[in-house]
Structure 1
Amino acid sequence: MGSIGGVYLFRIPEGEEFISYVTKFLEKEDIKAGVVKAVGTLRNPKIGYFLEKEKRYKINELEGTYEIASLMGNISIKDGKPFLHVHVVLGDEEGVAYGGHLIEGEVFVAEVFVMEIVGVELERKMRENGLALWDEMRL
């Protein structure tokens, strides 16, 4: 069982790509497990939905600016490096919501919360279902 390590709050500069910026932060801070949450706004985001039968993601490319209604995810190790897995619900100016796996998005505004978990090893490995998942953990 893990325990809470560092707790980080930071703002991503406008124009940066969300996933790559946070991943660089995780590498710099040597964070190998944890949780991520954020609020803000993304431009031209790409979100994915996993097609179970085809074992691949369908990517939806949204155009314009979208409010982050919810963004949460986890941090683990994949291929020896920190891996950020994020799901998001985005809203447009009409209040229409789009959700899925955040592939990428240019930041207009993003305030990020990262809570590190120490004492656990969460490594993603490719499974027969086409997803890179953690090993099962027993509590």
Structure 2
Amino acid sequence: MLPPVQQQSTPAHAVSPKYMSTPTGYVMVLRQGDNVLYELEQLAVNEKIPSASFSGFGFVHPTFGFWNAEKKDYDPKSMRDTEMASMTGSIAWKDDKPALHVHGVVTDKNFNAFGGHILALEVGTGSVEITITVHKKRLEREVDQTTGAAVLRL
């Protein structure tokens, strides 16, 4: 007689869907270790979203960027173990790829607040909940020659 096959356990969030459809767009719930920006980009591609606005909150490890006009690039600052009090952003397209613009405010364990443009965002302990409102028209981003920043073209 053969021994029983041992099944490996899979974390519940690994097999759970990460988003569901709503009347105005989607609700996304991400879990520890998920890359928030990547998941939003994948949603845009998979669901063929023309453009969208989103908001969210949760536990995160963010990398903020402050726009350095002289360098025409962001000066980054990474943080660990923060709670995102508010995140807001938009989904558009540039060179046929999703182009996100995301800002947020986080607090540390002492309730100090930090915020700005988000360059990278990983879910920390717990989860991140995001509400995505889809718009009917496709929006594109283009580089503003004066500032060097990618801005929406209406």
The residue identity in structure 1 corresponding to 2:72 is K
Aligned to 1:55: 72
> Structure 1 regions of 5+ residues with no counterpart?
none
RMSD of aligned Cα (Å): 1.4
Q: CA deviation at 1:41?
A: 0.8
Q: Structure 1 residue 18 and structure 2 residue 36: aligned? A: yes
Do 1:32 and 1:82's aligned partners in 2 also have CA atoms closer than 8 Å? no
- Write the distance in 2 (CA, Å) between the matches of 1:10 and 1:33: 16
Larger proportion of strand: 1
How many residues matched?
129
> When the two structures are superposed, what TM-score results if normalisation uses the length of structure 2?
0.78
> When the two structures are superposed, what TM-score results if normalisation uses the length of structure 1?
0.86
Aligned to 1:133: 151
Higher RCO structure, 1 or 2 (CA under 8 Å, sep 6+): 1
> Structure 2 regions of 5+ residues with no counterpart?
1-22
Q: CA deviation at 1:116?
A: 0.3
- Write the distance in 2 (CA, Å) between the matches of 1:6 and 1:81: 22
Q: CA deviation at 1:93?
A: 0.5
Aligned to 1:85: 101
Identity of aligned residues (%): 28
The equivalences for 1:1-139 within 5 A come to 6-43=24-61, 45-62=62-79, 64-108=80-124, 109-118=127-136, 120-128=137-145, 129-135=147-153, 137=154
